[in-house]
Amino acid sequence: MTLIKSISGIRGTIGGEPGDNLTPTDIVKFTSAYATFIRKSASENRPRIVVGRDARISGEMVHRIITGTLMAMGCDVTDIGMATTPTTEIAVTKEEAAGGIIITASHNPRQWNALKLLNSRGEFLNAEEGAQILALAASG
């Protein structure tokens, strides 16, 4: 299965080769790009990112990679654990966070997972913001 990259995030089946499926390497790459994007626009030195996830088997692994990468990139993390997409969106505004990541592949089969990216309003990124993150990820 091909790794799918879009303005709302990335998704794919867990495992396989980097750039082909959703691997730990891809998760670090796109989380780092998102953290760089957030840090450029945030007023805080250590912007806060809310992270929530669904109950997929791969969720805990993906969660650990994301939270570790965000902290390594200079962000503070508010971990809300297992949460729905709307709960994570609301938590971003309630916590006055700079953004959020939802770990869920929604309606896709259980072997899939995804990173869905939110702005400081708890909304999915717009096309311009998503394109900036994809460009940051592509530039390495």
Tokens of 103: 């770990």
> Dihedrals φ, ψ of 80, to 5°?
-100, 5
Taking the mean position of all CA atoms in its chain, how far away is CA 18? 17
Pairing label, strands 48-53, 76-82: parallel
> Dihedrals φ, ψ of 71, to 5°?
-65, -40
In angstroms, the CA 121 to CA 11 distance is: 22
Give me the catalytic one of 6, 58, 106, 120. Answer: 106
In angstroms, the CA 57 to CA 15 distance is: 13
Catalytic, 41? Answer no
Active-site positions?
106
